[in-house]
Amino acid sequence: EHTQSCIRPWTTPCEEVVQAPSPPPVPAMGSAPSPAPLCSGILCMMYCEYGHELDDHGCPMCQCRVEPVIENTLDSSGHRRTQDMPPIAIDPMPPVVDPGFGVDTSVGVSEGGRCASGFCENAADCPQCQAGLTCVVPADMMCAGTCYGTCHAPPSVLPTPAPTPSAPINPDCVVWNDGCNTCQVRNGNMVGCTRMMCFHQGTPHCLVYGHH
């Protein structure tokens, strides 16, 4: 009677019915897993023996993994066990090889040969010039790693020749004009002159005579 009367709410009000929440949907069998994160390529040119470290998204970083340090410990039964120690952070910058380290320059590359300048990406391919030669790399050359150039001798600096007078200097002259510049004279030889640029060359002549 109670159930039947509930159907007629104007006779007997129905009790409030609470509907249970629906269970969460169950994924179908064989559904595809969530896609892997998109990682950009490693921009650094660094070889890592144990691979690169991964960031929080699972992407490789420009930082090498280090070889795990094994620590020997004893468990509760007295048996020896090994466990990995936490990795030690290392500097992510690649090592710089000193071009002169461990290289005998007396038997190095001769003039005109191929040489490495500055950073060497591979220490086994780091040719150096012989003593007295310089590795020259073109200024507009873009290097992705090791810069290779050519061994050259340094440019020779020729001494500036003393000015040669165009006319003989009187032995008694102490100040001479060569037609453009004024020169000090000692024992008939010019020992120092001004450095003016003249558009017209005048007649060489003595300006001051010495007294004997």
Residues 118 and 146 placed together within one structural domain of the fold? yes
Q: Provide the 10 A C-beta neighbour count for residue 149.
A: 19
pLDDT category at 65 given cuts 50, 70, 90 is confident
Q: Is the pLDDT of residue 94 over 60?
A: no
Which pLDDT does position 151 carry in this prediction? Answer: 92
Q: Are 94 and 45 in contact (CB under 8 A)?
A: yes
Number of domains in the chain: 3
Considering the domain boundaries, does residue 191 fall inside one?
A: yes
Which pLDDT does position 101 carry in this prediction? Answer: 46
Q: Where are the alpha helices (DSSP H) in the chain?
A: 2-7
pLDDT category at 78 given cuts 50, 70, 90 is low
Residues 6 or more apart whose Cβ sits within 8 Å of residue 191: 183, 184, 185
The share of the chain scoring above pLDDT 90, in percent, equals 2
Q: Provide the 10 A C-beta neighbour count for residue 170.
A: 14
Q: Is the pLDDT of residue 99 over 60?
A: no
Residues 83 and 119 placed together within one structural domain of the fold? no
Residues 138 and 113 placed together within one structural domain of the fold? yes
Q: Is the pLDDT of residue 19 over 70?
A: no
Report the mean per-residue pLDDT for the chain.
71
Considering the domain boundaries, does residue 19 fall inside one?
A: no
Give 188-199 pLDDT, tens digit per residue.
Answer: 888 888 888 777
Give 100-114 pLDDT, tens digit per residue.
Answer: 444 454 568 888 888
Q: Is the pLDDT of residue 184 over 80?
A: yes
Considering the domain boundaries, does residue 158 fall inside one?
A: no
Considering the domain boundaries, does residue 163 fall inside one?
A: no
Residues 83 and 51 placed together within one structural domain of the fold? yes
Q: Where in the sequence is the domain holding 84, given as residue range(s)?
A: 44-94
Give 127-145 pLDDT, tens digit per residue.
Answer: 889 888 888 888 777 777 7
pLDDT category at 87 given cuts 50, 70, 90 is low
Residues 109 and 129 placed together within one structural domain of the fold? yes
Residues 140 and 180 placed together within one structural domain of the fold? no
Considering the domain boundaries, does residue 35 fall inside one?
A: no
